[in-house]
Structure 1
Amino acid sequence: MILNKTIEQWQNEFPQLGDMMEYRETLWLNDNQAAADSVLPELILSEDDILSAEARLKRFAPYIAHVFPETADSAGIIESPLTELTRIQESFKEIVGKKINGSFYLKEDNKLPISGSVKARGGIYEVLAFAESLALAAGLITEDDDYKKFAGPDFKNHFSQYSLVCGSTGNLGLSIGIMGAELGFKVLIHMSDDAKQWKKDMLRSKGVTVVEHSDDYSKAVEQGRADSLKDAKSYFIDDENSKTLFLGYAVAAIRLKAQLQEQNIAVDKNHPLNVYLPCGVGGGPGGIAFGLKVVFGDNVNCYFAEPTHSPCMTLGMMTDYHDKISVQDFGIDNVTAADGLAVGRASGFVGQLLAKLISGSYTVSDENLFKMLAVMYDEENIKLEPSSLAGVIGPAATHSKGTHLAWSTGGDMVPEEVYKEYYLKGKNLI
C-alpha cells in the first residue's frame, strides 16, 4: 500500500504509471496549466525577487572577474552561449524516428565558467548571498563598496569560521565547493553513491571535505541537513527547498531574453519558445522555468526531462503528491548514468510552485542519452555529460511546434578519459 492505495488503484487513477514502472519513455502533459498572468501573482516569489538576485550577482561581478580570470571577458558575469544546432537534425531523426519542426538551440550551461554546469547558477549564487550577509553583518562591507574586497584576507579569515554543507549527486557540490573554498569557507559535501568519482576527486583537490554515502541522493541530503543542524556556524544549502538557490537559477531567464534578442529570435504568440530542462530534484530546472514564465508568460512552454529510471518530478506532478511519494515506492530503481538526475523524490516546493505553470514532462532511456551524446559530438562538436542530453530529446518527445531550446546541464568539466567512455558507449549503441 502506498498512501493507503494499492498499486492497481494507482495505475487505474494514473494510467501512464504502468509505462513508467516498466521503464518505458513517457510523456505527461499538464492538464492543470493556467495562464501565467493569473498564476504568478499568487506565488510566494515574484519578478522583484529575481531582479534582486540579478543585482546581487552584478555587485559580485568585479570580485568574480578578479578571482576567476576565465570570467574576465564577461566582466565577472557567469553566463553561457546560446548556440543554434544546425547539423544534428538528420541523425536525430534516425535515432528517435521523428523530425524536428522548427529551429533548434542549445543553452550551453556545459560551458558556464568556474564549475561547468547549470549548478554554477544556483550554487554559486547562494554561496555569494550567504557571504554577503555575513560581510554586511560584520561591517566588512556595504552594498556600495567594490566587492573585489571579498578577495582580501579579512574576509577569508571571517568566513573560515563558517561551514557550508550540502547533499549532492555531483554538480551542485562542485559549484558550492569551488566557490565556497575560494571565499575561505570550510565546505562539506555529502555525495550519493551515484556521484561520479572524478567529481569527488576534483572537490577534494580544492580542499573540500567529501562524505560518501552508500545510498541515494535523498539520504545524502538528509544526512547533510542533520549534521549541519548540530553546528550554529554551519550553513546548509538545500537543493530541495532553498528559495535563494531557486532565484539564482531564475536569473538565467533575464539573460536568455537578451541573447534571444541579440540573435533576432522572436518569442511571441505566433512564435512560441519550447524549453526542455533536465530535471533531478527540481531546483535548477524549476528556478529557470519560473524565471522563463515571469519573462515570457504564455509564450514559453517549459518541459522537465528525466531518465526513465528516475522520473521523480513526472511522478510527483502527475499525481499531485509531489514529495509525498518516491519512484522507489513504485519499484522504480533510481539507477541511471545521468548522475545529476538520479533523484527518487522530487522537491515539493518546486512541484507545488510550478503546478499550474509547467507544460509537462517526459522521460528518456539511458540508451538514448548515450546515443545523442555521441551524435552531439559528431554533428555539432559539443561535449555533454549524459544528463545534458535529456533536454536534447525534447522536440521529439513533446511534438511541440515553434522554436526549440534544450538546456544543457554540464559536460566541459568531464575528464577526457571519462568522456571517451561515454562517447564510445553511445557509438556502440547506435
Structure 2
Amino acid sequence: MSDVPEIDLTDPEVVRDPFGAYGRARERSPLARLLIPGLAPMWALTRHEDAKAMLGDPRFDLNADSFMRPDVPEDCLPYMRTMSEMEAPEHARLRRLVAPAFTVRRAAEFRPRIEPIVERLLDDLPGHADADSVDLLLHLARPLPMDVICELVGIPEPDRPRWRTYGATVAAGSGQGFAEAVPGIMEGARAAIARRRDEPGDDLLSDLIRVQAEDGDRLDDTEMVTLVWHLVLAGQTPTNLIANAVEALLSHPGQLAALREDPGLMPLAVEELMRWCGPMLLSIPRYAREDVLLHGTLVRKGEALIAAVAAANRDPRAFTDPDRFDVARSGGPAGHLGFAHGPHFCLGASLARVQTQVALTALLRRFPGLALAAAPEKLRAPDPGTWRLTSLPVTL
C-alpha cells in the first residue's frame, strides 16, 4: 500500500500536465490512488495492459455512482438511464439492437452527409472573425457534432439552431441551462420518432424502427428517446477531439506538413490524435463486485477503480516512443483506449472518427495559412478528467 503513488486531482501540476503526472505514477507503479475532494479516494490502473483488461473485466461494473445525476424534471427521468449505465444482460440486449446502426460501414456511408455540414461551417468562419482571429471551438468544433446528430436522427432544419444550443448546454455539463435543455431534447426526440414512424427516411431513427431481432425483440419509444439522449450526451467527444487536434497540429509544424503533403494519412492521424491528445484522461469509474487483489493491493468490494487513460495511452510497454506525436504511427497490437474498451467501447466511435477526419481534411484544405492566435497553455480548461480547451482562436 505504501508503494502506491497518490495523485491529487486538485494539484495545479496534475491539471496543467496530466500526461506527465500520470506518466510518472505509471513508471513507479501499475496502481495509483486518486484523491478527489468530496469523494472517497479511487484506485487507478496506470498501465495499458491492466487498464484494458479492467475495462472488460466482469468483476468491475458500472452503477449509478459512476455517473453524475443532474437535476431534471421528473418526467424526463425515465430517459436518463443510458446504455452506458447498464450491465449485462440488459446492456447486451440494447447493444445488439442498436449496434448495426453504428458500424464502420454505416459511418462511411454517412460521410457524404457530414461533408456539406462541415463546408457550411467553414463558409461561415470568416464572418465570425474578430480582430483577424476566429474561435474554432465556438464556430466549428462545438456546433459540428450537434449538427451531425440532427442529421443522423432527422431533426427538421428549423429546429436545428435550438438543438445546437442544447448541445452547447449539455457540453457545459450542469447548471440551470442543463435542466432546461433536457426536456427540449426529450420532446424533440419523441416528435422525431413519431414522424419517422409515419414517414420512414434514411436516418438512424428509421433504421431503429425497422430493426427487429430474430426473436421479435425491438426498441420501444422510451428506449429510442433514451438513445437520442445518449447520442447528445456522448456525442460531444468530437468537439474536444477536433479542437485538441487542431491545436496539436498547429503546434507541430512538421506533422502538419506531413499531413498536408499526404491527406491519405488522415485516418492514421486521427487515431494518433486520439491516443496522444484525446479528451478522455480518466475512464468512467467501475466498482468492484468482490474483493480483488491487484498487484499485491486489495481492492475491496464496492471500491471505485478507474483506467488512467492518459497514462495507458502513453505507456512505453504498449507504444514505441509514446510521448512523440506521429501522424503516420500505425496502431500496433495494443491500440489506444481513447474510446474505452470491452462491452462499453464507445458505440459512436466510428461516427466520431469520420466527423473528425472530415473536419480536419476540409479545414486544412480550405485554410492553408491557418495558425494559432494565442499560446496553447493559455487556452486549457482546468479540468482534471477531460483534456480540453476553453477556446481556440486562430488566424485563417
Confirm or deny a common fold (TM above 0.5).
no
Structure with bigger RCO (C-alpha 8 Å, 6+ apart): 2
Normalised TM-score (structure 1):
0.30
